[in-house]
Amino acid sequence: MNKLIEFKKVTKEYRVGEVPIKALDGVDFSISEGEFVVVLGASGAGKSTILNIIGGMDKATSGQVFVGGQDITRLNEKKLTEYRGEKVGFVFQFYNLIPNLNALENVEFAAEVCTNHLDARDILYKVGLKNRIRNFPSQLSGGEQQRVAIARAVAKNPLLLLCDEPTGALDYVTGKTVLKLLQDLNKETKKCVVLVTHNSAIAPMADKIIKVKSGKIESVTMNQNKQSVEGIEW
């Protein structure tokens, strides 16, 4: 399979006052097209930093980050903003929907600026919100709001979908339905999904598991026994 993402000797240093914090310390890994990847690690390990660098929301201090063949560490601010807008779909723990737009408008608003965007209504139907498209975020449950957020990310028709603790604010059952949705979308659309979590029980649903510890890669494992979300419990 073709490589979609490649980290080469990536470091990220934050400086708070005099003290440098090494969030990433020589990180190497690659992700192939179509893979469902779980990035696993304890709080503070550097998971979100990896995701934010892939998504062009944060910049590596050193090293190279290839996405779709281009080194995104070399992009200027304008190109990086374009990259973020066109190529990356984000799903966060808290859904970050615009409160005064309904579900359909939230998805349209994000998608319409993208060249190859998909039909907002079609995607909302696909995520199971056919009867909710005129509802405002305050009129939707947490799980439904996360579905809108996923639809918003997918409707951009991005190169990859980045999810940071997407079930973190949801109860067990709702969290599982959101994971199932992400797994189904990955299967159907063949889009690469990178999901960050501290919950190791989620790992069996991945094609590849990247374990992060104290800013370093602890292991990268291909999962020989990939499971559907229904079969996973925690």
Q: How far is the CB of 17 from ligand ATP (least distance, A)?
A: 10
Q: How far is the CB of 107 from ligand ATP (least distance, A)?
A: 26
Indicate which single residue of 17, 18, 43, 131 sits in contact with ligand ATP (rule: CB under 6 A).
43
Q: Could you tell me how many residues make up the chain?
A: 234
Q: Near ligand ATP by CB under 6 A, which window of 29-37, 38-46, 82-90, 173-181?
A: 38-46
Q: CB nearer to ligand ATP: give 49 or 73.
A: 49
Site string for ligand ATP, 44-73 (x = CB under 6 A): xxxxxx------------------------
Q: How far is the CB of 2 from ligand ATP (least distance, A)?
A: 27
CA gap 71, 7 in Å, rounded: 10
**Token duo for residue 106:** 């939230």
**Side chain identity at 48, as an amino acid letter?**
S
Coil, strand or helix at 232? coil
Residue owning tokens 């992060």: 212
Residue owning tokens 């990086």: 80
Q: How far is the CB of 132 from ligand ATP (least distance, A)?
A: 30
Indicate which single residue of 10, 23, 97, 123 sits in contact with ligand ATP (rule: CB under 6 A).
23
Where in 175-204 is the site for ligand ATP (CB under 6 A)? 198
Q: How, if at all, do strands 62-67 and 70-71 pair?
A: antiparallel
Burial of residue 214, with CB atoms counted within 10 A of its CB: 0-12 exposed, 13-18 middle, 19 or more buried: middle
Q: How far is the CB of 162 from ligand ATP (least distance, A)?
A: 12
CA gap 50, 45 in Å, rounded: 10
User: Which element (helix H / strand E) includes 198?
Assistant: none
**Token duo for residue 178:** 């959101």
Q: How far is the CB of 96 from ligand ATP (least distance, A)?
A: 16
List the strands of the sheet with 3-16, edge to edge.
19-32, 3-16, 62-67, 70-71
Cβ atoms within 10 A of the Cβ of 76, count?
8
Q: CB nearer to ligand ATP: give 15 or 78.
A: 15
User: Which element (helix H / strand E) includes 197?
Assistant: strand 192-197
Indicate which single residue of 16, 69, 224, 234 sits in contact with ligand ATP (rule: CB under 6 A).
16
Indicate which single residue of 4, 35, 41, 120 sits in contact with ligand ATP (rule: CB under 6 A).
41
Q: Near ligand ATP by CB under 6 A, which window of 2-10, 43-51, 94-102, 184-192?
A: 43-51
Binding site for ligand ATP (CB under 6 A): 14, 16, 21, 23, 41, 43-49, 198
